[in-house]
Structure 1
Amino acid sequence: MSDWPYSTSRWRRLRLQVLRSEPLCRECRRAGKIVAATDVDHIKPVAYGGMPCDCNNLQPLCHSCHSKKTNAQDGGGWQRKHDRAVDAATGWPLGKDHWWNGDGAVGEKSLGADAHRPVCPIAEES
């Protein structure tokens, strides 16, 4: 939780406000269970255009429900949409807008995947 907006005092206040106003997990309540909410979830993920600090886009969930929702949305880990397009044979990213293939942080062209491939000393000798 170190990335923006989660490192801001605004987010911490908003998170507490959501948990205080609705202390039970919304998904568990729908299933007829009473479970304390521990996480504040973006209904529409920020990575997909959801507003990070919009109260209408936030819901309280228990950690289990939050993990299940996150796993269902992005396959078990946070990934940008363009990170998913990879070459099946090599595993290298395909999109030319991918950070690996795109411009560097200082505006220069990235060295790309070839510059970062591991060097095998045995293969180079032959």
Structure 2
Amino acid sequence: AAVKRERGARCQRCGSGHRVIADHVIELRDGGAPLDASNLELLCQACHNAKTATARARRSGLGGTA
């Protein structure tokens, strides 16, 4: 909630205001800092799903960029 108040409740990738969540820039399983606000970005559901799919593909060796 604090990140949304600070940055505005809009997706930082596409600007959408629909179902915006704070997401880790570097996922925790990839070594991202869990409580560091600089490791958070606000994403709408669509951008979050795309980012997560890309990260999973990269981890599984299928390529992709985040």
Tell me which interval the TM-score lies in, with the shorter structure as reference length.
0.7 to 0.9
Give the structure with the higher percent strand. Answer: 2
**One-letter amino acid matched to 1:17:** A
Gaps of 5+ in 2: 61-66
Give the TM-score, by structure 1 length: 0.42
Counterpart selection for 1:53 from 9, 22, 35: 35
CA distance in 2, matches of 1:56, 1:67: 20
Higher-Rg structure is 1
How many residue pairs get aligned? The number is: 57
Q: What are the equivalent positions in structure 2 for 1:71-90 lying under 5 Å apart?
A: 71-75=53-57
Report deviation, 1:19: 1.5
Paired residue for 2:63?
Answer: none
Identity, % of aligned positions:
32
Task: Tell me the residue number matched to 1:28.
Answer: 14
Unaligned runs of 5+ in 1: 1-15, 30-34, 76-80, 85-126
Moved over 3 A (4+): none
What is the TM-score when the length of structure 2 is the normalising length? 0.76
